[in-house]
Structure 1
Amino acid sequence: MTRRDQQRLYDITTAIDTIRQHVNRGDLSDGLIFDAVRVRLIEIGEAVKALPNDLLEHEPGVPWSEVAGMRDRLAHHYFDTSHAILQATVEHDLPELEQAVQRLQAHVDDD
């Protein structure tokens, strides 16, 4: 595990924390909140894309390719972004992702 990989895991947890702060300020019907959350989800996907597969394999329950694919969709098809999909991602997927990343961080710290 490289320092760069540790930084990417940190980037993901920081983005999740920031999304939580944005949502605490308002809901996704507010354009600023929506855009801020979308950008942080793009950051998460970018960080995931930079992580090595052998690390991600330690958390096989996470659909890593879908996380990366969502980044591409949000970055390239921003006019087609569904509020409902973002809401579901924030409510249901991010807590699971956060737990998986924390386990990966613990795994890295043990090495």
Structure 2
Amino acid sequence: MSRDVGDRLDDVIRACGVIRRYVDDDALPEDLVYDAVRMRLVEIGEAVRMLPSAVTSAEPGIPWSRVSLLGERLTRRYFDTTPAVVFGTARVDVPSLCAAVHRLRAAHA
């Protein structure tokens, strides 16, 4: 199935929203949130990896190449990914990424 730029941007927006809900829900066990956030970060990395640089260049403040490597890092180097890194990414980096992707999505409506 082929996915266009809008679909991929929507995937990132959805994953960011879910991550926010997970980290904001104090009733969820931390290990469950850690696993769920890692999976959503993998999704974000894969979606971003497929975005053309002509699209991402409109938001130069985002380190797109690092974002696109998230999936690889979290799946192939899982053993050196700590909860502090995952939760820090979720709380600090994901909101900025989400705002940038919303702007890109508005430009590609």
Question: Within 2, Cα distance between the matches of 1:19 and 1:105?
Answer: 19
Where do 1:1-111 residues align within 5 Å? 4-26=4-26, 30-109=30-109
Higher helix share: 1
Runs of 4+ in 1 over 4 A off after TM superposition: none
Is contact 1:44-1:71 (8 Å) kept?
A: yes
Question: Gaps spanning 5+ residues in structure 2: where?
Answer: none
- Greater CA drift, 82-91 or 98-107: 82-91
Preserved CA contact (<8 Å) 1:22 1:37? yes
Do 1:28 and 1:34's aligned partners in 2 also have CA atoms closer than 8 Å?
no
Identity %, equivalent residues: 44
TM-score, length of structure 2 as denominator length: 0.90
The TM-score, its normalising length taken from structure 1, stands at 0.88
RMSD across aligned positions (CA): 2.0
Deviation at 1:7, TM superposition (A): 0.4
Gaps of 5+ in 1: none
